[in-house]
Structure 1
């Protein structure tokens, strides 16, 4: 990654790559096209928001070479996505017990309009035999939210009320951290930890050292009385003290179009809808 490289410039938070930098990144990634899922490569080529996420995340990486860091982060992520099969996980691949449990679901929006992905801790139980299935379940939700939100950031909420150490799954948490830092960069708007009982403080002491400083700053501990600082009452479930009476039930996804077979016009119509 040295030929015709744009000049290095100072990092500026939230500043997008310029046209020269974007073209250089695209041309550099083109060399590895066969290692990527076709839809991911299509996103790199056509969707500025997709590539921007790697650029924005690289701002927080150590050093001052944002262009080089963006390239290597994108290459790492795109390779993993194809190896893991992130684009290929469907509802048929998901464990029925996970779908029925209510341990993970998306519901409503925060005050900034970001969709909320909820980890309901008390409904999750560690099961080493289901470790891969749980990882696929998480990736499916992230992919679904990317499709629905056109790559916009999401808010993650850990509903810890009535949670206990038997619900603490370190392997899944470590996977979650790795996924969000390396493979779905700049996807998280804020992380809300709701009503964390004292018994889970030991778990937090294990998790915090695994997180870089910028990630720790996104974490907000909230209670029933402070949740409204981030989520309006009409977007809070009744179980959290809000006005939404909804109770969990699995809701199948309705896909608008087969993106692999879509024409350019159909693809853009879907991405912009």
Structure 2
């Protein structure tokens, strides 16, 4: 379980030095993106968050940070632009950021009612990564609450591969990011499918998982930050901006 204790300057420096030495001794086939290298060299925040989530295990932090740098380069994280995304998925309100939870963390909302298994999974994950990166830049690497809005969804919308990939991105690529994972208004007929989903969730995800209804959502998102659809006061309708 992550700790509230802060890493020391020596621990941060040790991770940074280890990564830079490995970079010199074993340069990757695809050079790491200059933006990521700059963040690695010039800022303590990224390393600090990884050290905390991995409970100051320096070896594990080094391994996961290296793997993350490789993934960011191969996935093209720094090169994702609005124009490079699937425009239908970007504009249809199936994945978007809006409002904050009670802890002041941004909500990344996935409207499962608008999802179907026929959608291209890679395109969807790129949309997720776009929003996570955008929110991370806007909040200086603050946490995000993943809000899975199940309102009005049915069996045709339930896509275990999509949910797995979604959770996997947060587990392995952005492990320090999730504040809560909220599953809102889960229909009764999807209970069995959701039980299957829970079996592959890591312990950390289960710890922050909350299943809510209109009756109790305001424990995590106050009424003014809740859409009317969720039982709140906000009549917002999504339009990409």
Give TM-score, length-normalised by structure 2. 0.92
User: Match of 1:6?
Assistant: none
Tell whether 2:27 aligns with 1:38: no
Equivalent in the alignment of 1:188? 178
Find 2:81's aligned residue among 77, 87, 90.
Answer: 90
Equivalent residue number for residue 206 of structure 1 = 196
RMSD: 1.7
SS in 2 for 1:25: helix
Q: Between Structure 1 and Structure 2, how many residues are aligned? A: 235
For residues 240 and 205 of structure 1, what CA distance do their matches in structure 2 show? 22
Matches within 5 A, 1:162-177: 162-177=152-167
128, 133, 149: which one pairs with 2:139? 149
State how far apart, in whole Å, the 2-side matches of 1:12 and 1:87 are: 27
Would the alpha carbon gap of residues 56 and 122 (structure 1) be closer, same or farther in structure 2, given more than 3 Å must change?
Answer: same
CA offsets, 1:97-144, max 9 Å, x none?
Answer: 10232111100011111000111110111225x222112111111111
Q: For 1:99 and 1:17, how far apart are their aligned partners in 2? A: 38
Classify 1:167/1:214 alpha carbon distance in 2 versus 1 (closer, same or farther; 3 Å).
same
Map 1:25-174 onto structure 2 (within 5 A): 25-30=15-20, 31-32=22-23, 35-59=31-55, 66-127=57-118, 130-174=120-164
Contact 2:3 2:53 in 1 (8 A): no
Cα distance in structure 1, aligned partners of 2:2 and 2:181: 24
Q: Distance in 1 between matches of 2:101 and 2:127?
A: 23
2:2 and 2:53 in contact (8 A); partners too = no
1:163-222 deviation line (CA, Å, top 9, x unaligned) = 112112222222212211111111000111111011221221221121222210100111
Mind listing any 5+ residue stretches in structure 1 that lack a counterpart? 1-10, 60-64, 252-273
Structure 2, gaps ≥5 residues long: none
Instruction: Give the TM-score of the pair, scaled to structure 1.
Output: 0.81
The ranges of structure 1 where at least 4 consecutive aligned residues each deviate by more than 4 angstroms after the TM superposition are: none
Indicate if the aligned counterparts of 1:236 and 1:242 stay in contact, CA closer than 8 A: yes
CA distance in 1 between counterparts of 2:39 and 2:147 reads 28
Q: Provide the rounded CA distance (Å) in 2 between the counterparts of 1:210 and 1:127.
A: 22
Equivalent-residue separation in structure 2 for 1:194 and 1:245 (angstroms):
17
Retained in 2: the 8 A contact 1:104–1:120? Answer: yes
